[in-house]
Amino acid sequence: MDVAINNLPEEQMDALFSSPLGRHLEEVQSKLRLQLALFAKQYIALDIESKRNKQLEDWTNFFIPIITAMMQDPDLRLTPQQRKQLPATVERHVHLLETTTA
């Protein structure tokens, strides 16, 4: 409770603030404000995470056709074994991008 309210004579204090019910309501209000702040913080974190996921999806949609075309390019003359290893290699390098941009 506010220090200024505690220093007022009893007759000058609002009955709502000086009663047990008033103090309880003030406690509840304070707890609700804290919960609201926590929810807002969590919502912001979720929004940031969803933006990261969207960005990852956009990069994936950009790179998959390019990588697929490179795998099938006859000029590279990739062996079947190299084609089989390429997705894991690409994933490893994309993972490096994710860890450096996060």
Question: What is the SS3 assignment for 56-70?
Answer: HHHHHHHHHHHHHHH
Range of the domain at 16: 3-101
Amino acid at 58: D
**pTM value?**
0.43
Digit-by-digit pLDDT tens for the chain (102 residues) are 455 556 655 555 566 667 888 888 889 989 999 999 998 888 888 888 888 888 888 888 888 888 888 888 899 898 889 888 888 888 888 777 666 655
Q: What pLDDT, on a 0 to 100 scale, did the predictor assign at position 98?
A: 66
Domain tally, the chain: 1
For residue 68, CA distances in Å to 40, 65, 75 come to 42, 5, 14
d(CA 65, CA 6): 70
